[in-house]
Chain A
Amino acid sequence: GENVEQHPSTLSVQEGDSAVIKCTYSDSASNYFPWYKQELGKRPQLIIDIRSNVGEKKDQRIAVTLNKTAKHFSLHITETQPEDSAVYFCAASNRGSYIPTFGRGTSLIVHP
């Protein structure tokens, strides 16, 4: 089955800096890679996703990149703000399975 590794487990940055979270996956059939943000005490919510037919996707201050050859994808947050502080989860799944595999999460702390 699919295995998703996520690093780092904790990331501490100063407000205004950039943050990068990286994930690797094992199943070459995976073709959908969502990122979820979970604020303290809240539910995970999708913030951005990418499909395997594109290499990069941006939405304002967040972007995701995908390298299918190396089987890794990354979340980039620019100009971080305190409200970006949360746990971020990556996941991978393929069209034939509606069961995503999640990484273990990254706790992002943005210091004012």
Chain B
Amino acid sequence: DAGITQSPRHKVTETGTPVTLRCHQTENHRYMYWYRQDPGHGLRLIHYSYGVKDTDKGEVSDGYSVSRSKTEDFLLTLESATSSQTSVYFCAISESGRGHNEQFFGPGTRLTVL
């Protein structure tokens, strides 16, 4: 597996609380992504980053924010968690400049919002 980790791996929280998920890579890849995975919906992009301090929204960004202050770290924040944000969250990375866009995924974080 590529050097990509996520923390925490599991989290249970209550509605209305803030939650931050961390993705850490040791591959020095430029691109980082946050996806959520729900049954019947596959992988849906939340936000992505194309460099330090450079981020953009994906298709399901409402209720989420991200930050990337270092190449190796990409943080996903739920400002006020809701039950609809119960999901498995995957971080992914990809290298730039090689003409193809293979992604390497982290192990995932299972988030439950009660």
Contact = CB atoms under 8 A, between A and B. Distances in A.
Contact of A99 (B41, B48, B105, B106): B48
A89 B43 contact: yes
A21 to B, nearest CB: 13
A103 B42 contact: yes
Given A43-B90, A43-B108, A105 B100 contact: no
Contacts, number: 50
Given A89-B43, A102-B43, A104-B40, A32 B101 contact: yes
Given A98-B50, A100-B101, A43 B106 contact: yes
Interface in B49-108: 50, 58, 90, 94, 96, 99-108
Nearest to B50: A98
By CB atoms of chain B within 10 A, which of A34, A36, A43 has the most?
Answer: A43
A104 B42 contact: yes
B34 interface: no
> For this complex, into which size category does the number of interface residues on chain A fall?
20 to 34
B107 A43 contact: yes
A89 B99 contact: no
Interface string A32-53: 1010100000111110010100
By CB atoms of chain B within 10 A, which of A44, A104, A105 has the most?
Answer: A44
A8 to B, nearest CB: 13
Nearest to B41: A104
Contacts of B108: 43
B45 interface: yes
A44 to B, nearest CB: 5
B105 A43 contact: yes
A42 B106 CA distance: 9
Nearest to B107: A43
Given A98-B94, A99-B45, 5 more contacts: A44-B43, A93-B101, A100-B103, A102-B42, A105-B42
7 contacts: A44-B43, A45-B105, A93-B101, A98-B50, A98-B96, A104-B42, A105-B43
